[in-house]
């Protein structure tokens, strides 16, 4: 009996600790590894970032979502990291290196001129949905209710909403926050604070 109580005395704290860790991961935050170059120059391949579960999603927020069921080429749970360009009800178009949301030009100072211009292309939601044969919302002219339109920062290599459409809110795990010990002050600001400066002056 005494041996059982001794075992229980160290087993219970371990179980409680695991439960707390699971609750934090499920409802508060988790650490996620960036996979690939699609968010360069602001996030690098293999960089570790926080995914905040309860943060509000803004235009310009960088989010993590499960691409399974979003990108037709993905058959198992796969985390994608992209930047929100359009929220429900928005129209989005790209012309001559500028992106317009609801006919208002957005700020893209977080990427260089080449990424804005040749990397992004000229399109409307309707034109890319038809051109790229979206399986859902083909012919859409605005972002549907409960969904988001996302792009990678490194537009010329990013597999993003241009090619497969919108991301349902139910697929989004949370908003990315870059900790102070990674990246540079500029790249951290481009991820953590850019949504505050979304519209072009």
The answer to the question of residue 200 being in a domain is: no
The answer to the question of residue 132 being in a domain is: yes
CATH of the domain at 78: 2.10.109.10
Q: Which domain holds residue 131?
A: 2-195
pLDDT at residue 27 above 50?
Answer: no
DSSP category for residue 143: P
> What is the rounded distance in angstroms from the CA atom of residue 79 to the CA atom of residue 73?
13
Q: Return the residue matching tokens 């235009």.
A: 59
Residue-wise pLDDT for 68-106, tens only, equals 999 999 999 999 999 999 999 999 999 999 999 999 999
DSSP category for residue 154: S
Q: C-alpha 17: how far from its chain's center?
A: 30
The answer to the question of residue 181 being in a domain is: yes
The answer to the question of residue 126 being in a domain is: yes
Q: Sorting pLDDT into bands at 50, 70 and 90, what band is 23?
A: very low
Tokens representing residue 57 in the block? 């999603």
The stretch 116-126 carries a mean pLDDT of: 93
The answer to the question of residue 201 being in a domain is: no
| Contact by Cβ (8 Å): 31, 49 | yes
pTM of the entire structure?
Answer: 0.86
Q: How many domains does the chain have?
A: 1
Q: What are phi and psi of 7, to 5 degrees?
A: -65, -40
The answer to the question of residue 115 being in a domain is: yes
- Provide the annotated active-site residues: 38, 82
């Amino acid at each position: 009996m005494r041996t059982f109580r001794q075992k229980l005395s160290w087993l219970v704290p371990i179980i409680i600790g695991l439960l707390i860790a699971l609750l934090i991961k499920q409802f508060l935050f988790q650490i996620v590894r960036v996979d690939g170059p699609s968010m360069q120059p602001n996030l690098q391949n293999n960089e570790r970032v926080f995914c905040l579960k309860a943060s509000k999603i803004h235009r310009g927020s960088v989010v993590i979502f499960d691409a399974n069921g979003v990108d037709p080429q993905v058959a198992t749970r796969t985390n994608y990291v992209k930047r929100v360009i359009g929220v429900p009800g928005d129209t989005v178009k790209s012309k001559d290196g500028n992106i317009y949301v609801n006919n208002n030009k957005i700020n893209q100072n977080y990427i260089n001129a080449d990424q804005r211009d040749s990397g992004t292309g000229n399109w409307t939601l309707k034109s890319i949905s038809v051109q790229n044969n979206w399986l859902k919302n083909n012919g859409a002219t605005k972002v549907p209710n409960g969904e988001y339109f996302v792009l990678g920062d490194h537009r010329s290599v990013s597999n993003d909403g241009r090619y497969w459409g919108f991301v349902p809110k139910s697929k989004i795990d949370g908003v990315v926050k870059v900790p102070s010990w990674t990246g540079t002050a500029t790249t951290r600001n481009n991820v953590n604070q850019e949504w505050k400066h979304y519209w072009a002056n």
